[in-house]
Amino acid sequence: MGQFFSNSTDEHLKFYRTLDGINSINIGIISPIVTNPLSAQAIRIGNNGKIKRLQRFVETDNGLLYDFDNNTTLFLNKRDDGDIVISYIDNEANLSVNKIMEPQIREFFKPINFGDLSNEFDKIYDFVKLEELKINNE
């Protein structure tokens, strides 16, 4: 049985999920770095953007904050009306976006479920779906 991940620099996200189809924001799994347990989780902004590893994760009652390499940040925030706002900043690409999560992305979003390698990203599914359940049960 061969290795699933290569030892070389990753060029492609594995088991990726799209957060923003218009701006091609994808999160997924890459080869982890032993010294950083979060490093297997990464983001790519734009079709030709660089893959950036997760460095820090913070969960609050109303949001999920992800800090990646090169001052790239992703923040998901719940509004009182139930909408999920996605904010991301990629200083390298000179890109800053603040928008409501697209309904089709929200409806069909699935967790990555790749064991301990995707724990922080899998919280996005819970964040989106739990809010959806609250709205539907009101």
DSSP conformation class of 32: P
- Please indicate, yes or no, if residue 98 is contained in any of the structural domains: yes
- Please indicate, yes or no, if residue 34 is contained in any of the structural domains: yes
- Please indicate, yes or no, if residue 48 is contained in any of the structural domains: yes
- Please indicate, yes or no, if residue 1 is contained in any of the structural domains: no
Average of per-residue pLDDT values in the chain: 85
Q: What is the pLDDT of residue 85?
A: 96
Give the chain's domain count: 1
Amino acid at 78: K
Query: Would you say 76 and 64 are in contact if contact means Cβ atoms under 8 Å apart?
Result: yes
- Please indicate, yes or no, if residue 123 is contained in any of the structural domains: yes
Region 21-49: what's the mean pLDDT? 90
**pTM score, two decimals?**
0.84
Region 60-68: what's the mean pLDDT? 94
Q: What is the pLDDT of residue 138?
A: 52
- Please indicate, yes or no, if residue 80 is contained in any of the structural domains: yes
* pLDDT tens-digit series, residues 104-113: 999 899 999 9
* pLDDT tens-digit series, residues 65-91: 999 999 999 999 999 888 999 999 998
- Please indicate, yes or no, if residue 46 is contained in any of the structural domains: yes
Query: Would you say 48 and 41 are in contact if contact means Cβ atoms under 8 Å apart?
Result: no
